[in-house]
Amino acid sequence: MNNPNFKFSPINKNISSKEREKLFNKFIVSEYLKYGSVDEVFIRNNYDLPISYPQVHRILDKWGIAKSVGPNSKLSEAICFMVLLSDRKIPLEKLYKSLPSNFKTSMSTMHRILHNIKEGLIRRNGTALVITSGKDLRKVLVAEDVSTPRLELGKPFGSISLPMGYSKNNEDPKKSILRILQQEVFTNDAINRTLKENYFVPEDIKPFMFLDIVDIRVNVYHLSLDKKYLNTNNFSSYKLKNYKFIDLDDLLSKNSKFRMGLSKIGSGFKKYLDRSKTIVEYKPVLVKSDINLELSQLVLEYLK
């Protein structure tokens, strides 16, 4: 099942107190992975939880959850906004005021991102995963992003995505990757504390490319899953749904349903596969997304 649906009933008298505690802890983990912050967990539950903020953090630590980093807003949300800004070519404030109420990123944050793009500044880090189907390195896992509001009328910007999200600067790559796996690939397993047995990350894993998109430098890693995990029903997330493996050639296409930067990652992965056959140590390449180039030009036009 792609979408987790964990529920907790505190009135079940047929289970022991120990089992009830375990179920409650799983509920807290589930709520955290759904909403992305401890604050939001309390807000969504009307502050009616029988535990404190520190106790929630202790449960998350006990479960081995790699906590969210960066702003509460989602990486995909900022990307979608900037793509829409470039497409419509209207003042940022006018576009922002037309957005739905569930858009979380503040206007000041969007101004700051646009300024950073103009100045060529990188302020945040991200992690993206190219997950391939066993030995078939040309079959890549993608899914539909359901975490970002539909900002546009008609054109589905960024609806198809790779698993990706924010990460810390100079963070252990394994922790960055674990965070994305917990939030966007194996959420059910994270809730059930079985994720550590269900994924494989090499000890010496390194990014095969860096993608600069808006003011974020995304470290892109390749993971090849064991065949027993290749059934798409094994994948689950509150952010992604309708997982499928697509051919690398399809990833290279200019599909309007793809999130900005997806085809760039596909192109970088193809070069990585081709060169890794002949080069002993492959050095990651740095690629700038089209949206950065387009918005840089747009800012210059605003200043005329």
Residue at 275 is within a domain: yes
CB 144, CB 127: distance < 8 Å: no
Structural domain range at position 51: 17-62
Six-digit token string for 231: 């059934």
The structural domain count of the chain equals 2
Residue at 304 is within a domain: no
> Position of tokens 């790779």?
162
* 28 and 138 assigned to the same domain: no
* 232 and 128 assigned to the same domain: yes
pTM score of the predicted model: 0.87
- Tell whether the torsion through CA atoms of 89, 94, 97 and 98 is positive or negative: negative
> Position of tokens 């809730």?
191
Sequential pLDDT tens for the chain (304 residues): 566 766 665 556 678 888 989 999 999 999 999 998 999 999 999 999 999 999 999 999 999 999 998 655 577 777 888 888 888 888 889 988 888 777 778 889 888 888 888 888 898 899 999 999 888 899 999 999 887 655 553 334 447 999 999 999 889 999 999 999 999 999 999 999 988 655 678 888 999 999 998 889 999 999 998 877 778 888 999 999 999 999 999 998 877 788 888 999 999 999 999 887 776 677 898 998 888 878 777 766 655 5
* 176 and 278 assigned to the same domain: yes
Six-digit token string for 138: 């040309």
Our CA angle for 243, 68, 161, nearest 5°, is: 25
CA 15 vs CA 19, 29, 31, 62: distances in Å:
6, 20, 22, 22
Residue at 258 is within a domain: yes
